[in-house]
């Protein structure tokens, strides 16, 4: 225009909206798409995985294939499960007409809904929002794999490897360690990804226990839910609550009426834990101030259910658990306490 300057629009906003990579693919943070861009880190993960040349490797969320390429170089075969069809096409294009093409099988779909084939080892940088259900899906997979090397959000990873007395020790910790041995391998800063996530990450090693520790799923889960209701309260305080005593007494009377307390009918159908529908990654134990988390003991009125209450307290005293706290109990102590309750005819499901 006469007498004025034509202003050129700066395409900065549009450029920031998408984060292109190979083939112009943009990544969606909302879908947990954060691709590892540090080749040294990729090499370190593969090295720590201990992959054998005969291994069938499961990779979850391969993205554009940076980790996939290294896995193909080490193992016999890679089975990659990817939800995003754009990434599937990129993977196929990247390895097409290469020596690796015959050793890569790509499954397009939601890993939580996909029946996983046989694999020896799992190596994955997963979308963090599926951390908990995926962990338990893998741990319940049969036949059991040798180990899994998985990148998790750091806090979730530290919950998995927590020890009794640690701040992050919780029900998720105990449930995972019942099924597997978990160890921390390395911390990963957010700047190793494109686009960078808001939090740091950690790589952990998960080895399924062989043989498995057999428990009845509903019984074990009901027991832990009560114990971790307030993990820093004494077990004596937790099991004196009226609501807890009422629930356990109801179970006790039901089982007595069915005359199955002493039958030991077996029925280990539910021995395989399944927490695929539990949002344990969001599980937060309310363990702040003792005053804030203090619960009313809710003792039953004098004479009301006093006999059953004495039975429950007797179990705690027998195992010297009355003054102990869930936040400091080991897995073996939880298993022992549950066995004492069951021996006394007290059940949690």
Q: Which residues make up each annotated binding site for S-adenosyl-L-methionine? A: 34, 36, 61, 82, 110, 125
Residue positions in the annotated binding site? Answer: 34, 36, 61, 82, 110, 125
Is the four-CA dihedral 37, 75, 57, 281 of positive or negative sign?
negative
- Buried b / exposed e over 30-57, threshold 16 CB at 10 Å, is eebbbbbbeeebbeebbeebebeeebbb
Say if CB 87 and CB 64 are below 8 A apart: yes
154 HSE (CA, 13 A, CB side) = 10
Q: CA separation (Å) from 141 to 272, 274, 304?
A: 10, 10, 46
Distances (CA, A) of 250 to 27, 226, 244, 346: 52, 15, 10, 10
Query: Rounded to whole angstroms, what are the CA distances from 332 to 30, 261, 270, 329, 339?
Result: 39, 24, 20, 8, 11
The answer to whether 27 and 34 have CB atoms below 8 angstroms apart is yes
For residue 148, report the phi and psi dihedrals to the nearest 5 degrees. Answer: -130, 135
CB neighbour list of residue 237: distance below 8 Å, 6 or more residues apart? 295, 297
The CA-atom distances, in angstroms, between 286 and each of 53, 207, 228 are: 46, 29, 9
- Token readout for 331 is 């897995």
In which order are the strands placed within the sheet that holds 121-125? 104-108, 77-82, 56-60, 121-125, 147-153, 201-208, 180-188
What count of Cα atoms within 13 Å lies in the side-chain half-sphere of residue 17?
4
Please say whether the beta carbons of 321 and 287 come within 8 A: no
Cβ(206)–Cβ(151) below 8 Å: no
């Amino acid at each position: 225009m006469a007498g004025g300057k034509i202003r050129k629009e700066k395409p900065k906003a549009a450029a920031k909206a998408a984060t292109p990579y190979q083939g112009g693919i943009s990544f969606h943070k909302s879908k947990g798409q954060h691709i590892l861009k540090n080749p040294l880190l990729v090499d370190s993960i593969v090295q720590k995985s201990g992959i054998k040349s005969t291994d069938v490797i499961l990779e979850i969320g391969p993205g554009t294939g940076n980790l996939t390429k290294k896995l193909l170089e080490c193992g016999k075969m890679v089975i990659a499960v990817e939800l995003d069809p754009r990434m599937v096409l990129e993977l196929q294009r990247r390895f097409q007409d290469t020596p690796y093409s015959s050793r890569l099988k790509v499954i397009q779909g939601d890993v939580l809904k996909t029946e996983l084939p046989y694999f020896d080892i799992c190596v994955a940088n997963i979308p963090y929002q599926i951390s908990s259900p995926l962990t338990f899906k893998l741990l319940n997979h049969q036949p059991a794999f040798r180990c899994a090397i998985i990148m998790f959000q750091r806090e979730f990873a530290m919950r998995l490897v927590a020890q009794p007395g640690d701040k992050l020790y919780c029900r998720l910790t105990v449930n995972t360690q019942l099924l597997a041995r978990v160890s921390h391998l390395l911390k990963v800063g957010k700047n190793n990804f494109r686009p960078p996530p808001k939090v740091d990450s950690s790589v952990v090693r998960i080895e399924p226990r062989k043989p498995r520790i057999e428990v009845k799923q509903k019984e074990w889960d009901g027991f832990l839910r009560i114990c971790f209701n307030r993990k820093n309260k004494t077990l004596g305080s937790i099991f004196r609550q009226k609501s807890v005593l009422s629930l356990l007494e109801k179970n006790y009377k039901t089982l007595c009426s069915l005359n199955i307390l002493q039958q030991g009918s077996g029925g280990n159908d539910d021995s395989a834990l399944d927490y695929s529908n539990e949002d344990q990654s969001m599980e937060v134990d309310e363990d702040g101030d003792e005053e804030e988390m203090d619960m009313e003991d809710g003792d039953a009125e004098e004479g009301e259910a006093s006999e059953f209450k004495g039975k429950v307290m007797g179990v705690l005293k027998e195992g010297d658990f009355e003054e102990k706290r869930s936040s400091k109990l080991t897995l073996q102590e939880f298993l022992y306490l549950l066995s004492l309750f069951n021996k006394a005819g007290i059940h949690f499901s």
